[in-house]
Amino acid sequence: MNSFLPEMIDKDELLTLIPHRNRMCLINRVNKYNLQENSIEAEYDITEDCLFYDFENSGVPAWVGFEFIAQSISAFIGIKDRINGLPVKEGFILGVSHMQIDLPFFRKNSIITINSIELDNLDPIYIFDGKVSIDGKKVLAGKLTVMEVNSDHKKQINEHAPKQS
C-alpha cells in the first residue's frame, strides 16, 4: 500500500492512469498492485459493450486476452508513473510470445481476472508475464514485450510513419 494511490482502483481513477478510452478500455478495476514485486491484478466484466464482442458467439474471442494483459500492464506502468510524478504515456505492444489459450471465447457476463508481473525492463521496454483467469482457473497466459513512449518518441514515430493517401 502507498500514500499516493489506493491499492484498489476503480474505473474513474483508472482512466486517469491509462490512455485507453470508451469501448477500447478493457479494464474495469484494479484489485491490487505491488510495486516491490512489480505486479498487478485487474478485472474486466465481459459485456456486449466490449469493442471486440462477437454477438454470434456470445462472447469476446480469446485472442483478445493479450490486449487485456497489455492494458493491465498499462495500468501498472501508469501507477508507477503517477507515484513518480510523471504524466500518463502511451505504449505499444512489441511482441507476444508463449501464448497459451485454453478457451475459444470469454463468455458474456464472465468476470475475468488479469494478473501481470514485470520480468525485466530496459526502460522504456518492459517484458511482462501475464495470465487471465475465470473463477480462479487460468484460461490464458503469455509473455508481452511492450514499449512506453513519451511525446518525443511519439513525434519520431509519427514522422517516420507511412503517409496515408
How many domains are there within the chain?
1
Please state which of the ranges 111-120, 135-144, 148-157 shows the lowest mean pLDDT: 148-157
Instruction: Identify the pLDDT of residue 123.
Output: 83
Instruction: Identify the pLDDT of residue 15.
Output: 87
Q: Is residue 31 part of a domain?
A: yes
Residue with cell 454470434: 56
Q: Which amino acid is present at 100?
A: Q
pLDDT in tens, 71-107: 999 999 999 999 988 888 899 999 999 999 999 999 9
pLDDT range class, residue 1, cuts 50, 70, 90: very low
pLDDT range class, residue 154, cuts 50, 70, 90: low
User: Does 40 have pLDDT greater than 80?
Assistant: yes
Q: Is residue 165 part of a domain?
A: no
Q: Is residue 136 part of a domain?
A: yes
Please state which of the ranges 17-21, 61-65, 126-130 shows the lowest mean pLDDT: 17-21
Domain holding 46, by residue range, is 11-160
User: Does 3 have pLDDT greater than 50?
Assistant: no
The Cα 22–Cα 7 span in angstroms is: 23
- Domain of 135, CATH number, reads 3.10.129.10
Q: What is the chain's Cα-based Rg?
A: 16
What mean pLDDT do residues 13-37 have? 90
What mean pLDDT do residues 3-16 have? 81
- Report the candidate in 132, 137, 138 with the shortest Cα–Cα distance to residue 66: 132
Q: Is residue 5 part of a domain?
A: no
Q: What is the dihedral of CA 9, 10, 11, 14, to 10 degrees?
A: -20
pLDDT in tens, 99-129: 999 999 999 999 999 999 999 999 889 999 9
The mean pLDDT value of the chain amounts to 90
Q: Is residue 1 part of a domain?
A: no
Q: Is residue 100 part of a domain?
A: yes
Q: Is residue 4 part of a domain?
A: no
